[in-house]
Amino acid sequence: MVNTNKPRDVQVYPIGTQTRVFRSRSWSRLRFEVEYALAKGTTANCYLIEADKIALIDPPGETFTEIFLKALQERIDIHKIDYVILGHVNPNRAATLKALLEIAPQITFVCSNPGAINLRGALENPDLPILVTRGEETLDLGQGHYLQFIPTPNPRYPDLLCTYDPQTEILYTDKLFAAHICGDQVFDEGWQAFLEDRRYYFECVMAPHARQIETAMDKLADLQVRMYAPNHGPMVRYGLIELTKAYRDWIQQQSSRENTVALIYASAYGNTATVAQAIAHGITKAGVRVESINCEVAKPEEIQAAVENAAGFIIGSPTLGGHAPTPVQTALGIVLANAAKTKLAGVFGSYGWSGEAIDLLEGKLKDAGYRFGFEPIRVKFKPDDKVLQECEEAGTDFAQTLKRINKVRVVSQQPATNIEQAVGRILGSLTVVTAKQGDISSAMLASWISQASFNPPGLTIAVAKDRALEALMHSGSSFVVNILAEGKQIRKQFMKNFAPGEDRFAGLEVQEAANGSPILMGALAYLECTVKDRMEVGDHWLVYATVDDGKVLNPDGVTAVHYRKSGNHY
């Protein structure tokens, strides 16, 4: 686990000819965003190229403004900076950009056209000097640094821009190939150790936009790249080929899924987009593809095609002045005109005071006769960890309902084969696995648990990808295995389906373990565990954990076991 007691700092390191990285580091989680859920800290990477002209690429957000500017001023005269290149623009960067402009008003910003619109709004300055790139422009900094710009937009980041320097063969990828992890490594030596973190970031941020990410990678494929320089995490040098291939594989996994959900939304201040991201993550982890559409920039025919081709749709909106913004109302009209009434629907949104937009969407879809996959989600102001977990669970519930409707995951009614009968006789203790991180807690009934090592004492547990608990079972996370005694009281409690955010432990006697996870006092015994590693095995994750502590609570009890008639379902 990351040492969260360390102060924030800026690590400066040369990464190429006349090129340095300024890694603004936080050892604790910064914001309530799905991709930060592993709580391993983050780096906000900013890059400085000092040639005949000086360019700064992707200054960090307001969390790092003060320490970043201090580190920058110690190494360069900020008055001499010619360009600030922005891979994407969000309000969080406004404080740093305003501070830079106060020191160096001569700066010219370089960004995409959507980025220019966002930048003028964020800085409240319609007359900003901006060089708008559309994919053909280049920027000569001198001494061989002849920068090329490649627009790589997606619905979440319609202004996304990659920058390539042929002099150093560094590709500045912004969100692509990033990971939220804080450490001393500047480059990715031992790159395999970072692969799970990059996979998690991909699933949270990129998976809902797999089609657009594939298009972006096609644009970048012909460049002679020695290193990826992302916005977050270590520079990708040693595992560049392998990570590029992994991205292609992950995209293919998303594209090959049979069912698709059209996720349509607009976002005024980023809150609705954050909720959409959490819902999308819940859907994709359940094995259903998401086609994410930002209706502020999407064409009507794109929305229509997505709705017609999807098995279900979800639409979200902020509330502005008591109404849904015009792009959302336009998208709603397209949905009502083109989506079959048999398709599963969902509604969500964020608001400051009232939330009329969510009521509008819900009412129109109900009046049209659509069936809802979850109760409308209403989020006031910025969602916190607990709300995002509930949104993710709602997305998973939606996907599971969709799969049942479309008969994708129906247990075979044919008699079990000899092999299936034999596999079903594998015995394992019936347990309840519990975990808690911050305000989020979860639990699941589990029997696929086996001892894996003597020294240290360790075990493996198979966790289905669509379980809510899966999000709390990454490397470094803690949990408790509650081994059940024969009897049905506790078992019955955890065999039912829980609504998003529902208390799993209502009516049970529970105490908190040393690692913070719940102990069921009615269990036969319990084990406090820490996740050390995990690997993907089909539709499950196989988690390896070491046992830190444990106790037998009922010495006279008999361990409950689960006999299965078939090896193809629980």
Q: Is 77 exposed, middle or buried (0-12, 13-18, 19+ CB in 10 A)?
A: exposed
Query: What average pLDDT does range 86-93 have in this prediction?
Result: 91
Per residue in 219-261, pLDDT (tens digit) is 999 999 999 999 999 999 999 999 999 999 999 999 888 899 9
Q: What is the pLDDT of residue 410?
A: 46
* 443, β-bridge pairs: 434
DSSP state, residue 226:
S
User: Quick one: pLDDT at residue 126?
Assistant: 84
Q: What is the mean pLDDT of the chain?
A: 91
Calculate mean pLDDT across residues 407-429: 63
Q: Which domains does the chain have, with CATH numbers?
A: 9-253 (3.60.15.10), 257-405 (3.40.50.360), 418-552 (2.30.110.10)
- Written in H, E and C, the secondary structure of 206-221 is HHHHHHHHHHHHHHHC
| pLDDT score, position 176 | 97
pLDDT of residue 422: 63
The SS3 assignment for 480 reads strand
* CA 397 to chain CA mean position, Å: 18
Provide the pLDDT for residue 482. Answer: 94
Distances 468 to 271, 327, 464 between C-alpha atoms, Å: 22, 33, 9
Beta-bridge mates of residue 149: 163
**pLDDT confidence band for 420 (50 / 70 / 90):** low
| Whole-number pLDDT of residue 409 | 44
DSSP string, 30-54: -SS-GGGTT---EEEEEEEEESSSE
Q: How confident is the model at residue 488 (pLDDT cuts 50, 70, 90)?
A: confident
From the centroid of its chain, how far is CA 518?
A: 26
pLDDT for 44-72, tens place per residue? 999 999 999 999 999 999 999 999 999 99
The whole-angstrom separation of Cα 54 and Cα 230 is 20
Is 94 a residue whose pLDDT tops 60? yes
H or E element, residue 397: helix 385-405
Tell me, what amino acid is at 101?
A: L
Which among 413, 410, 439 is positioned nearest to 32, based on CA atoms? 439
Contact (Cβ atoms closer than 8 angstroms) between residue 477 and residue 437: yes
pLDDT band at residue 96 under the 50/70/90 scheme = very high
Could you list the beta-strand ranges (E) of 134-204: 138-140, 146-151, 161-165, 170-174
Phi, psi of 240 (to 5 degrees): -60, -50
pLDDT category at 499 given cuts 50, 70, 90 is confident
Q: Give me 398's structure tokens.
A: 């939606």
| Least confident stretch, 29-43, 175-189, 356-370, 493-507 | 29-43
Listed in sequence order, the DSSP H helices in 225-380 are 240-255, 271-285, 300-309, 326-338, 356-367
Q: Residue 363 is which amino acid? A: G
Residues 376-386, mean pLDDT to the nearest whole number: 92
| Strand ordering across the sheet containing 161-165 | 138-140, 146-151, 161-165, 170-174, 227-230
Closest CA to 84 of 53, 125, 63, 43: 53
pLDDT tier at 76, thresholds 50, 70, 90: very high
Question: What is the structure's pLDDT at 21?
Answer: 98
CB burial of residue 507 (10 Å; 0-12, 13-18, 19+):
exposed
Question: What is the rounded distance in angstroms from the CA atom of residue 514 to the CA atom of residue 287?
Answer: 34
Average pLDDT over residues 485-491: 87
SS3 for 419? helix
* Terminal alpha carbon distance of the chain: 33
| Backbone phi, psi, residue 98, to 5° | -65, -40
Closest CA to 7 of 28, 23, 29, 21: 28
| Proportion of the chain above pLDDT 70, given as a percent | 96
Tokens representing 45? 């990477």
Residue 374 near residue 275, CB atoms below 8 Å: no
Q: Is residue 98 left, alpha or beta, with left meaning phi > 0 and alpha meaning psi from -120 to 50?
A: alpha
pLDDT of residue 412: 47
Token code pair at residue 103: 């020191």
CA dihedral 498, 501, 502, 504 (to 10 degrees): 80
Instruction: Assess whether pLDDT exceeds 90 at residue 497.
Output: no
Mean pLDDT, residues 401-418 taken together: 67
Query: For residue range 253-311, what is the model confidence (pLDDT) as tens digits?
Result: 998 888 999 999 999 888 999 999 999 999 999 999 999 999 999 999 999 999 999 99
Q: What is the pLDDT of residues 321-373, one digit of tens each?
A: 899 999 999 999 999 999 999 999 999 999 988 889 999 999 999 999 999 99
pLDDT at 1: 47
